[in-house]
Amino acid sequence: MLEPHAVRRWGRPVGLDYFDKLAEAAVKEAIQQQLANGKRPSGRTVPPDARQILRLKSRGRVTEIDAEKRVRQAIERLRERKDIKAPNTPNADWGLVDQSPPSTPKS
């Protein structure tokens, strides 16, 4: 089970660190880039692109193994918060969930 929050020794949860937030942004950016390029974002294509984006944005301060772990955890957090639509099947289409309230049509 992946836990997004560490616990300090006095019991209070610690928030996400800079690289965890960067990983979430990298996942969203990878989905947006693939949609903009006319490609289908899926479980096979988004994680590698997100890892590459995370490594670039972190300016080499994140190793490849750490980037893989952080991207996997970021995907799980985004799924739980329903910020992305990411089915577990490898070829299913992924997408960003629109968080804006629906506009009411004027009659």
Looking at the domain assignment, is residue 103 inside a domain?
A: no
User: What's the confidence (pLDDT) of residue 4?
Assistant: 46
Categorise residue 60: left if φ over 0, alpha if ψ from -120 to 50, beta otherwise: left
Q: Is residue 104 part of a domain?
A: no
Residue 13 gets the label, from left (phi > 0), alpha (psi -120 to 50) or beta, of beta
Range of the domain at 66: 15-96
Would 26 be classed as within a structural domain? yes
Mean pLDDT, to the nearest integer, of 13-27?
A: 84
pTM reported for the whole predicted model:
0.76
Q: Does 39 fall in a domain? A: yes
When divided into structural domains, the chain yields a total of: 1
* Cβ neighbours for 89, distance < 8 A, ≥ 6 positions apart: 43
Condensed to tens digits (0 to 9), the pLDDT of residues 52-107 reads 999 999 998 999 999 999 999 999 999 999 989 888 887 888 888 875 544 555 55
Q: Please check whether residue 10 lies inside any domain of the structure.
A: no
Does residue 81 lie within any of the structural domains? yes
78 belongs to a structural domain: yes
Q: Identify the pLDDT of residue 91.
A: 82
Residue 102: inside a domain: no
